[in-house]
Structure 1
Amino acid sequence: MTPSIPGFDYQRVDVADGVELNVAVGGSGTPLVLLHGFPQTHLMWRHVAADLATDHTVICPDLRGYGDSDKPAEDGPDVYSKRTMAEDTLALAHTLGHERIALAGHDRGALVAFRAGLDHPDAITHLACLDVLPTLNMWEALHGVQAAVGFHLYLMAQPPGLAEQMIQNSSDAFFSYFLDIWANDSEAVPPAVRQVYLDACRAAVPSIVADYRASAGIDIEHDRADRAAGRKLTMPVSVLQQDWGAALGYEAAALWGAWADDLNHSTVSCGHFMAEEAPETIAKALRDLLAR
């Protein structure tokens, strides 16, 4: 049996022309949307979502290009921009009957959440971003040999063709590498869930690369324009990260503080896959955020 979030109903929701998202919905109460990261699917939220569904309506989609959601062809720079994926998120919420939502994202999903918060401040009541820097800050922070930790960012930033071929030819090895090296707790992602991630990624190499390529192009343009205009996140924001700053030479809290005045920034001791490695910590942090 394919793993799923216990007690959640699954459906496909039309969010854009020719794009449907695979979505798990559970619980009742004020709405909270949870966006997954790389190389995962909505299943990364299985523990946290079940916890929060006791008093919230929890909505867990696969992002466009990932999991069982549609994977439109990259026929322009906007197809996988975080702005477009943020619009998917708001369209999903509206279709499910919610005009305003709390929004949390991890990794790639956090970049989508960040963009949604900037573009749609009236629709986002609270915002959480897990283990990521805003796109523009990320590229500015990477430099010298320390940037080798982000080799995949540079690989997938290349023009269409080579990266897709290289990754497709060794997809399980490529995606397994990140599941292994980014986790402090190797048992946090059990074999059945790991297999779901690998199968999903193997079937989505072009769209995953397109997502990363957008972050080396159009997403930077959007962030630069907002920074130049002085735009900030206006809702309560919580950021949880590993402490990579010392190794890469940046102060994460200061970088995030430039984007959000009402910010709670904290570091966690688990690995990158914190919603799976420390679900109680993440659930509590989200409850604390929603109480602000």
Structure 2
Amino acid sequence: MTEPTLSAAPPTPPIPPAPAAPAIPGFTCRSAPGADGVRLNVAVGGSGTPVVLLHGFPQTHLMWRHVAVELATEHTVICPDLRGYGASDKPAATGAATYSKRTMAADVVELARALGHERFALVGHDRGALVAIRAGLDHPEAVTHLASLDVLPTLDSWDVLRGTTAAVAFHLFLMAQPPGLPEQLIGACPDVFFGHFLDVWARDPAAIPADVRAAYLAASRAAVPSIVADVRASAGIDVEHDRTDRAAGRRLGMPVSVLQQDWGAALGFDAAELWRAWAPDLRHTTVSCGHFMAEEAPGEVSRAVRELLSR
């Protein structure tokens, strides 16, 4: 009797490698000190005079992936995750100052110093722009040039949001509430909450590809309490700091460039006029793209930064 022939088991297909996490090409990430013992995740690339790029909400340093590469051909470009965001430390908010823009601005100055730069140009988008403005007011000896993308100074932001038009910033009013409710509501469905802004604020959805969107959502999901604390500080202690500066006549003495959507017209105010009260050496430009302009119009942003640095 012939023994049956046993066929060989089919080979096990190899497990495909996990896709690489998105990163800024040619940049190296490291941990560096901020203020109060906080450690910041920062991507650094290029060489030359330093430019620090601060991201917005609900993003990380990755939002600068196009602009940073462009500027790195001429400059040392430093892209940190703000405290409470991305891979940076997320200290518990033990008081209003933990996430005040004054504290976060001190993070930036300490970070730059740790990387060997006493003076640097500073570019901020959204939340990062509020940090940049405060750094320019508090540390004029360190900030040589300042650019703000699509935001008003903190005090003006709250002043112009009134009536039914304030609905465009419902998230700010939600996160300004006392601790407890905002964290629970947002923490119950963080991807829906943060994803909403990535969807409705981008005029060109392709500007934020799927892997980058997933990275933003994962980072925000892990940072709900600190993101809320950041916005809550802007409705309280940050407004107090701005009011004190306005009463004292403190202004931004360095060259300032502002790129902004034309949402001032829709909300009934002149954005350039509001900015001139803070920045005598101002160039204010209206851009035709969505809120995420460093991703939707990186060439325009890069040109504006280069023009600023030439002043």
Q: TM-score, normalised by structure 2?
A: 0.93
Gaps of 5+ in 1: none
| Partner in structure 2 of residue 290 of structure 1 | 309
- SS for the counterpart of 1:32 is strand
Identity %: 72
Q: Aligned pair 1:178/2:197, yes or no?
A: yes
Task: Report if the CA contact (8 A) 2:35-2:103 is conserved.
Answer: no
Aligned partner of 2:116 among 81, 85, 97? 97
1:271-282 matched pairs, under 5 angstroms: 271-282=290-301
Task: Report if the CA contact (8 A) 2:207-2:295 is conserved.
Answer: yes
Report the CA distance between 1:166 and its aligned residue. 0.2
- Aligned AA for 2:179? P
- Aligned AA for 1:239? V
Report the CA distance between 1:246 and its aligned residue. 1.3
- SS for the counterpart of 2:252 is coil
Report the CA distance between 1:18 and its aligned residue. 3.4
1:1-292 matched pairs, under 5 angstroms: 1-292=20-311
Report the CA distance between 1:16 and its aligned residue. 2.6
- Cα distance per residue 1:174-226 (max 9 Å; x no partner): 00100011000000000000000000000000000000000000000000000
Name the larger-Rg structure: 2
Give the Cα–Cα distance (whole angstroms) in 2 for the partners of residues 43 and 2 of structure 1. 11
Gaps of 5+ in 2: 1-19
Give the Cα–Cα distance (whole angstroms) in 2 for the partners of residues 100 and 245 of structure 1. 32
Task: Report if the CA contact (8 A) 2:43-2:78 is conserved.
Answer: yes
- Cα distance per residue 1:129-176 (max 9 Å; x no partner): 000000100110011001000100100000000000000001000001
Give the Cα–Cα distance (whole angstroms) in 1 for the partners of residues 286 and 63 of structure 2. 19
Report the CA distance between 1:66 and its aligned residue. 0.1
Give the Cα–Cα distance (whole angstroms) in 1 for the partners of residues 264 and 37 of structure 2. 40
- Aligned AA for 1:96? L
Aligned pairs, how many?
Answer: 292
Give the Cα–Cα distance (whole angstroms) in 1 for the partners of residues 78 and 157 of structure 2. 28
Task: Report if the CA contact (8 A) 2:67-2:302 is conserved.
Answer: yes
- SS for the counterpart of 1:79 is helix
- Aligned AA for 2:104? M
| Partner in structure 1 of residue 5 of structure 2 | none
